Amino acid sequence: MIGLGRPSGPEFVTPPLTRPAPAVTPGVRAMAGPAAPPRGGRLLLAAVLVAAVTGGAAGLAGAAVFAGSEPPAAAALPRAAPAPAGSLAGMSATAARVLPSVVSIELRRGGGSGFVVDGRGHVLTNAHVVRGESEVTVVLGDGRRLAARVLGADDDEDLAVLRVDGAAGLPPATLGRSAALAVGEQVLAIGSPLGLSGTVTAGIVSALDREVRLGGSARTAVQTDASINPGNSGGPLVNARGEVVGVNTAIAADRGGGNIGIGFAIPIDRAAPIAERIIRN
């Protein structure tokens, strides 16, 4: 072909296009002998034979190796042994102890959280959660939905008490002492943020006696960085021993309205006497 040049090289031989006619002896019939293959054909044939022999030997060797060994087993990643029942420790054990006492509060216009404070079905929550309502629905940790009535409220302190019908035997939370809190102490906030019941978030006590506006009045509160969001209102703030030390009430929020790590809880030392008064009256 024009422009490609003439092939050349040590392994490339151009066979002759014609062969000279064999010599003929008079009276003797000319016999066509076998044509000698060109040098290039011999090289190609030799390469094919070498490849066939090598491939066959490799196949036999591979078959011998495979026959003498088991096929590889599926890889199993190492796993820890199952933890024995009842082995929860630390804040996991704390959450497990308190969660059965926490309830979700459902209303036509939203919801909140609360926690059982005695064996008679009384639930403490925020006044702003149930404002304008006389009856609400509470959802227990086991999924049961029970009717509850608003027993009373203290709007200035933003606290309210519900009475749950047919709630005998509900486990009450253990109330601690907020006066014993220390800055840096670990705490859990438990409730139903954005309707996600049984949500547990962890943090520390960021400050004590922080002045904030609750119920239209200036009040002191426990500040925490445990995540608190809409729906957490009325839920318990608990210490590492599982004792309620505050009632989650408010957050400092940016324009988006979400948690920014600054939440506030009404100290239980102030909330418990108010709950007792509402129940008594």
Residues marked active site are found at 128, 158, 233
C-alpha to C-alpha distance for 153 and 25, rounded to whole angstroms: 136
Q: Which of 190, 101, 116, 194 is nearest to 148 (CA)?
A: 116
Contact between 85 and 97 (Cβ < 8 Å): no
Residue by residue, DSSP assigns 57-99 as HHHHHHHHHHHTSPPPPPP----PPPPPTT---HHHHHHHHHG
Q: Are 234 and 247 in contact (CB under 8 A)?
A: yes
Give 11-45 as a DSSP string. T-----SS-PPPP--TTS---PPPPPPPHHHHHHH
> Which letter does DSSP use for residue 134 in this model?
S
Residue keyed to tokens 């909140």:
112
Please name which of 99, 132, 129 lies closest in space to residue 116, comparing C-alpha atoms. Answer: 99
Handedness of CA 179, 242, 206, 230 (dihedral sign): negative
